[in-house]
Amino acid sequence: MNVNKGTVVTCEILATFQSKVEAKTAQVGVIGLGYVGLPLALLFARNGFAVSGFDLDPSKVTMLQRGESYIRHISESVIAEHVDKKRFKATTDFSHLREMDAILICVPTPLDHHREPDLSFVRNTAEVITPYLRRGQLVVLESTTYPGTTEEDVLPILEKSGLHSPISPYVTDGRNVTGSEGQEVEFLLAFSPEREDPGNKQFQTQQIPKIIAGVNASSARATQALYSRAFEQTHLVSSTRAAEMTKILENTYRCVNIALVNELKLLCLRMGIDIWEVIEAAKTKPFGFTAFYPGPGLGGHCIPIDPFYLTWKAREYEFPTRFIELAGEINSSMPEHVLASLADALNHRKQCLQDARVLVLGISYKKDIDDPRESPSLKIIELLQASGARVDYHDPYFARLPKMRKYHLQLESVEPTPEALAKYDVVVIATDHSTYDYPAIVRHARLVVDTRNATREVREHRERIVRC
């Protein structure tokens, strides 16, 4: 590794980019206006930059241009303010990418049907950028992916433009970068993983430290210059591969610990022990323990997916990731556990699952948000239907189930009125939204299967509750 630790990197395009950022004349483009891209675009707009949001969905673009929001926790007044002040605009015309000084990629990185990484959105986006790439532009990949994606997939596609950004080692202490390119840098390329937690009221986007890495020192410093204008704290790492692994580690850590408590929940059910009580007791320890909670399965855009990106990449190095794969298997099996618990509960009442009327409460993958991605509720509904049950659902955020890559259930929300609740053989609490009146649900339902410990404070009619 040939790194000149005493050299502070300077190059023409870096100096030009930094001066534009400092003057806030740099134009920022964000590709993908979903749960990650839209908050990011609005954050830069709020900090005085002219921001263009790019998306393939014309309905999203139309709504944004009217100052409307399709994400519940993002205020329409904020969108409208930035549109009116011409700090933010949305478009489906990707030719405007050539006008951007920074292009931030926030597109999905799902798994395919074989649970292998699907980088088509990332690669296609890089292909779209390439014809418009010009000297001095910064491109930042924010999508969560396996180590090596920025260097091995995105960089070669962008270099089809005829411009180059050589991979070059540098040294960082987390705040400063030293190193020497050795070759001319013609465009800047970096990776900075998104760390959004939709619905989290404790940490706003700008409060979450931003991990940054470039394919070379100039790219790292340019990205830091930009993001430090919008985020309260940045942290540099020495390579895009290290930054990619950082995000995978964060989500794998959560996946493995959730799998642990899910497995312990199954054991505690057999032993007649309340796992929720055990967790509450354990978390009184002021060190060495972080509380994770069991549930009906994993959901969201990160935790159910990202560990499989790592296990797939590990096979390239002939390294078995048995611990991670086992955690994935446990978490993936939880909807089947819910189905089995529900069937057992009905059997004790001399009913069978086939033709049973079931109401599933909650579609979002976690409470109080309008995000159904990878929600275990959808898998539970699918399993119930396959078993012959007649299934309805309610969710305050979804009047109708949206069509998604894996599911097209075509159901409409049913209001959980006392009369409606009484008609169902069993009510399943799959997402513990704060808006639900749990004492009323237990009072009026014949049977309640609680996957979230939402009924812990309910004192009356506890004989109707099955916690699983």
Per the CB < 8 A criterion, the answer to whether 128 and 292 are in contact is: no
At 163, which helix (H) or strand (E)?
Answer: none
Summarised one tens digit per residue, pLDDT across range 190-202 is 999 999 887 777 8
Q: Which pTM does this prediction carry? A: 0.91
Summarised one tens digit per residue, pLDDT across range 401-453 is 888 777 778 899 999 999 999 999 999 999 999 999 999 999 999 999 999 99
Question: What's the whole-number average pLDDT of the chain?
Answer: 93
pLDDT band at residue 1 using 50, 70 and 90 as cut-offs:
very low
Structure token digits, residue 152: 């091995």
Q: How far, in Å, are 101, 183, 280 from residue 253 at the CA level? A: 35, 38, 20
**CA–CA separation, 352 and 340 (whole Å):** 12
Please check the confidence at residue 6 and state whether its pLDDT lies above 60. Answer: no
**CA–CA separation, 382 and 395 (whole Å):** 16
Per the CB < 8 A criterion, the answer to whether 39 and 75 are in contact is: no
Per the CB < 8 A criterion, the answer to whether 34 and 50 are in contact is: no
Query: Burial code of 28-37, b = ≥16 C-beta within 10 A, e = fewer?
Result: bbbbbbbbbb
Please check the confidence at residue 112 and state whether its pLDDT lies above 60. Answer: yes
The answer to whether domain 239-286+299-331 and domain 333-467 are alike in fold is no
pLDDT band at residue 204 using 50, 70 and 90 as cut-offs:
confident
Q: How far, in Å, are 102, 108, 191, 288, 310 from residue 154 at the CA level? A: 15, 15, 10, 40, 18
List, in order, residues 6 or more apart from 173 with CB less than 8 Å away. 236
Per the CB < 8 A criterion, the answer to whether 102 and 136 are in contact is: no
List, in order, residues 6 or more apart from 113 with CB less than 8 Å away. none
Per the CB < 8 A criterion, the answer to whether 189 and 165 are in contact is: yes
What would be the CATH architecture of the domain defined by 239-286+299-331?
Answer: Orthogonal Bundle (1.10)
Between 247 and 111, whose confidence is greater?
A: 247
Percent of the chain at pLDDT > 90 equals 87
User: Of the listed 255, 302, 352, 468, which one is catalytic?
Assistant: 302
Closest CA to 73 of 40, 35, 41, 105: 35
Burial of residue 468, with CB atoms counted within 10 A of its CB: 0-12 exposed, 13-18 middle, 19 or more buried: buried
Query: Burial code of 378-401, b = ≥16 C-beta within 10 A, e = fewer?
Result: bbbbbbbeebebebbbbbbbbeeb
The question of whether 302 is a catalytic residue gets the answer: yes
pLDDT for 384: 97
Opening angle at CA 405, ends 63 and 381, nearest 5? 105
- Give bridge partners of residue 214 from the DSSP assignment: 190
| 117: DSSP letter | B
At 133, which helix (H) or strand (E)?
Answer: none
Among the listed ranges 7-11, 379-383, 436-440, which one has the minimum average pLDDT value?
7-11
CATH assignment of 12-238? 3.40.50.720
**CA–CA separation, 118 and 139 (whole Å):** 20
Listing DSSP states for 332-379 in one string gives: HTHHHHHHHHHHHHHHHTT--STT-EEEEE--SSSTT----TT-HHHH
CATH assignment of 333-467? 3.40.50.720
pLDDT for 7: 42
Calculate mean pLDDT across residues 153-161.
98
Q: How far, in Å, are 367, 375, 406, 431, 446 from residue 364 at the CA level? A: 7, 6, 15, 7, 24
- The gap from C-alpha 126 to its chain's centroid, in whole angstroms, comes to 21
pLDDT band at residue 179 using 50, 70 and 90 as cut-offs:
confident
Residues in the chain: 468
Among the listed ranges 67-76, 136-145, 390-399, which one has the minimum average pLDDT value?
67-76
Structure token digits, residue 97: 């990418």
Provide φ and ψ at 300, rounded to 5°. 100, 180
Strand 177-178 to strand 171-172: parallel, antiparallel, or no bridges (unpaired)? antiparallel
Please check the confidence at residue 11 and state whether its pLDDT lies above 50. Answer: yes
- Listed by start position, the domains of the chain span 12-238, 239-286+299-331, 333-467
